[in-house]
Amino acid sequence: MSSDLPTGFQTELLPVHVAIIMDGNGRWAKKRLMNRVKGHERGSETVRSVVRTTRKLGIPYLSLYAFSTENWERPKTEVATLMSLLRRFLASEREEMLGNNIRLNAIGELDRLPATVRSDLEAMMVETAGNNGMVLTLCLSYGSRDELTEAMRAVAIKVTQGLLDPASLSSDDIARHLYTADLPDPDLLIRTSGELRLSNFMLWQLAYTEFVFSPTLWPDFTKEEYLEILKMFQERDRRFGRVNDT
């Protein structure tokens, strides 16, 4: 890996948590007069490569927006393809995850997923539960507003039960009720395909995250570009709203 790194890359200055909105599979296929499904297939290859690179670099958390709550509105055949690609990914990456100490995690409205996908996911999460080299979080049937609404509901119930005092409610109390309670907030968000929006992804968690928007369509996103983006992240001056007087 070290020989592939761009000049000036600092292996000790990496984000702890990288989150990615993988976008542009459909346009990639359309440009080639192919069915959108082909774009998702090629997109899965990119997922494999990014997971591998992230693990090799020693970045401890990677979260991928693989399917949003809004994606259920896509044609049935496309949804079915995405679900089967997900199952294929879980099967083909099993060895990789076990051999490289990767723990699989999934967040979102998982009970909306087909039973087959859910059981494969659960099996893989159980099998990798003891791994501590990297947490790979797949965001599936995920929507940030639903996640926040669910958290507010849980907090409100605890308030009515007298388990939480509304006067002393903190942002940590809210964060503890999100799907991401066990994850640090992302340090870096990458969105491919040139779209400049968040599309209902981790609205709470991205408050101080560095954003990089790439024009590259997800199937064309390479390891080289990923490394360049990580280098750009290293050059950002993160102040978290404070003054940096150095």
Query: How far from the centroid of its chain's Cα atoms is residue 245's Cα?
Result: 33
- Determine, following the binding rule CB under 6 A, whether residue 43 of this chain makes contact with ligand FPP: yes
Q: Given the complex with ligand FPP, which of 15 and 39 has the nearer CB atom?
A: 39
Q: Measured between alpha carbons, how far is 139 from 63 in angstroms, rounded to an integer?
A: 7
Q: Is 132 assigned a catalytic role?
A: no
Q: Measured between alpha carbons, how far is 47 from 104 in angstroms, rounded to an integer?
A: 14
- Beta strand residue intervals within 46-200, DSSP E: 61-68, 102-107, 134-142, 188-191
Which CA distances in Å does 102 have to 33, 97, 116, 180, 226?
Answer: 37, 5, 22, 17, 19
Contact pick of 22, 57, 202, 229 for ligand FPP (by CB under 6 A) = 22
Q: Measured between alpha carbons, how far is 222 from 231 in angstroms, rounded to an integer?
A: 14
88 labelled as ligand-binding? no
Of 42-50, 98-106, 123-131, 178-186, the window that binds ligand FPP (rule: CB under 6 A) is 42-50
Q: How far is the CB of 64 from ligand FPP (least distance, A)?
A: 6
Of 63-71, 159-167, 206-214, 233-241, the window that binds ligand FPP (rule: CB under 6 A) is 63-71
Annotated binding site: 23-28, 36, 40, 68-70, 72, 74, 191, 197-199, 210
Residue ranges binding ligand FPP (CB under 6 A): 22-27, 40, 43-44, 47, 64, 66-67, 71, 82, 85-86, 89, 138, 193, 218
